[in-house]
Structure 1
């Protein structure tokens, strides 16, 4: 189908992960998920895995 399956497929890298996390923190989005239990370190792990 030609759909990207990783962040690298859309030319994102570890530096971009830092930018994304900084933006989340700046906007007060430091507890994500249905139960608000996805913290910034967990978000970093998820994003790095998606690279």
Structure 2
């Protein structure tokens, strides 16, 4: 929907959750990285030794 492109992303997550399309799982003990920008992505790629094609 074009109007959805103007919604705040958390509003969209809430809508998806209400429809049963969102779930959670425990990541305790797993490696993870928050990626908010290109620098974060570079860090995550090094951390997980990911080589994008």
Same fold (TM over 0.5): no
Higher RCO, Cα 8 Å, sep 6+: 1
TM-score, normalising length from structure 1?
Answer: 0.30
Larger Cα-atom Rg: 2
